[in-house]
Structure 1
Amino acid sequence: MEHPVSVQTLNETRAETAAMAAVETTVSKKFGGWQEYIGVTKVGITGANLFTTFVGLWLASRGHLQVDTLSYTCLGSALVIAGACALNNYIDRDIDRRMERTRKRALVQGRLEAKAVLWLGIVLVLSGLLALATLTTIMASIWGLIGVFTYVCIYTMWLKRSSPLSTAIGGIAGAAPPVIGWTAVTGQVSWTAMAVFAFLFLWQPPHFYALAMKRTEEYRNAGIPLVPVVHGFEITKRKILQWTIVMVPETLLFYFLHVAGSVYGITAVVLGFLYIVYARIGLTGTDDVAWAKRMFRYSLIYMNALFLVMIFDLV
């Protein structure tokens, strides 16, 4: 026969449970859960950059990519990119609390300690650079370092807070991943690698200017001197058109360099022409924000479509 549990025992058990819950809450608030740490690495941005890294790998291997090279390069690149994003979160925590889009981030709300995120970023970046250097090539690691230095030091710590040039110069970091992929296979930079780099470098200003137009007031409140904040929408729209006019002919280099075939060439001409037309429409439109939203979406479709066609139409 079971012995009844005494009231005293029940009270002691409840007190123990409450104490444990309090400790767990304190620890969770102080150190954060694993989901919070993943969050500061900006999984979406890391994934998007890994796609362009894969493009570099695929082009360099001419479609005959070794599984180990793919695995090691993606591992090293993912660590480097995730670490750079964590460092960006650490540095921008003062700005983030002034923007609607970012004010709920873990660092802003105190769910993670700043030092923990700083060390997470440092460890991830160093691990990624080491992995690229030892498992792929030294040149791939060098390009990883170029991307991190540009994104963290030049863009995040300096230009983002002081100059509208941040978008253009920051494009170096966004254009580095495919070169990491290329050099992981070949160990050296080529004209094709630089053509991919140039495409992404030229693509980012019109892409990000459109995003900045959508969120101009947020950036203004945060004190970030982006082009729409400093110069207004009219100049921003002209810059989007100018960058697009320069970018579209550059995408045809992949056809003339015999990287991709005629299917890619036709696709690049058609999608590029549409991009220029849409950019030109913005100069005479009345609803700038609605136009910027459409341009932002089209910029993503444009970049991904060209890369996908290039992959499948590889010469």
Structure 2
Amino acid sequence: MADIRSFDDMKEAGFGDFVQLLKPRVMSLVVFTALVGLLVAPVHLHPVVGFAAILFIALGAGASGALNMWWDADIDAIMRRTKSRPVPAGKVEAGEALGIGLALSGISVVMLALATNILAGALLAFTIFFYAVVYSMWLKRSTPQNIVIGGAAGAFPPMIGWVAATGYISVEACLMFMLIFMWTPPHFWALALFMNEDYSQAGVPMLTVTHGKKSTRKHIILYTIALVPFAIATAFTSIGGPIYLAVAVVLNAEFLRGAYRIWRRDEDQAAADKYKVEKSVFRFSLLYLFLHFGALLAEAALRPYGFGGW
């Protein structure tokens, strides 16, 4: 749980520190996937309503980030990747992070429900709860399946965007959810392979810590194989089309190739080149997700001109 620092230990916080509290890099991915979910839906929202929906979804993502930083301040202070975050760095008090997280949670959920519909607000509320409580407070410190189950929190935004526009959950929304949900484990396990020391020192039971790197490499390729059908299936729904299919085939072939290379490597090889392959696959995985959703956006943009869709 967060370490509450005394007032004397705190450094003066600037505006940028409070922005960082909301995890802007994670928020950008949430906003993009939610925006795609909203724009590919078969309903045209008024631009003002659409903007409001994305704004409140973004605030919900920021609330989740603030609550996570409040709770994880103790382990964030140990890990190199996170020790400069506002709370462990002593720039923002833990209590402030908690207060901001709770306030933004309430505002974002209520306002999204009022701006769009109750189901969208309920999904946003569940997403915040899942990330802050189920993942951060429970799964992250108790099971190596933390990323597998916890990945649901990051997979909800496109579904929320879709529901904000339509008022219902569809096959298309579920496939967008599954694309992110199945992508999350190999994405984070690739990171864990070269950041394992951080997780070990912090006592986080990442798969690399509990089952070793060899097992993690095997899990990466298995989950990547399981991801492919969901990514390809999306092409044959109302939001897919030839553009998306072509992009998905190329991206999944490359992701499978990267996962195979990771699986075939041993630790001596990886250590010798400072995990060059693992880092490359991790970076590509970010591009993988962005381009899949970008292709869905392209299909929606071109469909009125007769180029998108089947």
Do these two structures clear the TM 0.5 threshold for a shared fold by scoring above it? yes
**Per-residue Cα deviation, 1:268-288 (whole angstroms, up to 9, x for no partner):** 112211211221122222226
Other-structure match for 2:114 = 134
The counterpart of 1:226, out of the listed 190, 206, 211, is 206
User: Structure 1 counterpart of 2:270, which letter?
Assistant: D
Once the two structures are TM-superposed, the CA of residue 167 in structure 1 deviates from its matched residue by: 0.2
**Per-residue Cα deviation, 1:131-169 (whole angstroms, up to 9, x for no partner):** 111011111111111211111111100111111011011
**Is this contact kept in 1: 2:9–2:90, CA < 8 A?**
no
User: Structure 2 counterpart of 1:54, which letter?
Assistant: L
Other-structure match for 1:243 = 223
What is the percent sequence identity of the aligned residues?
35
Unaligned 5+ residue runs, structure 2? 1-6, 301-308
Once the two structures are TM-superposed, the CA of residue 186 in structure 1 deviates from its matched residue by: 0.5
The answer to whether structure 1 residue 41 and structure 2 residue 22 are counterparts is: yes
**Is this contact kept in 1: 2:59–2:104, CA < 8 A?**
yes
The counterpart of 1:172, out of the listed 135, 146, 152, is 152
How many residue pairs get matched? Answer: 289
Q: Return the alpha-carbon distance in structure 2 between the equivalents of residues 72 and 61 of structure 1.
A: 18
Q: Return the alpha-carbon distance in structure 2 between the equivalents of residues 28 and 109 of structure 1.
A: 10
Other-structure match for 1:291 = 277
* SS of 1:109 mapped into structure 2: coil
**Is this contact kept in 2: 1:146–1:176, CA < 8 A?**
no
Match runs of 1:1-315 below 5 Å: 29=10, 32-61=13-42, 64-285=44-265, 286-287=269-270, 289-314=275-300, 315=309
* SS of 1:283 mapped into structure 2: helix
Let me know the Cα RMSD of the aligned residues: 1.8
**Per-residue Cα deviation, 1:81-118 (whole angstroms, up to 9, x for no partner):** 10110000000011111112222222123222211111
**Is this contact kept in 1: 2:60–2:105, CA < 8 A?**
yes
Q: TM-score, normalised by structure 2?
A: 0.89
**Per-residue Cα deviation, 1:240-287 (whole angstroms, up to 9, x for no partner):** 111111111111222222322112112211221121122112222222
User: Structure 1 counterpart of 2:63, which letter?
Assistant: G
Q: TM-score, normalised by structure 1?
A: 0.87
Unaligned 5+ residue runs, structure 1? 1-25
**Is this contact kept in 2: 1:264–1:306, CA < 8 A?**
yes
**Is this contact kept in 1: 2:159–2:174, CA < 8 A?**
yes
Greater C-alpha Rg: 1
Once the two structures are TM-superposed, the CA of residue 66 in structure 1 deviates from its matched residue by: 2.9
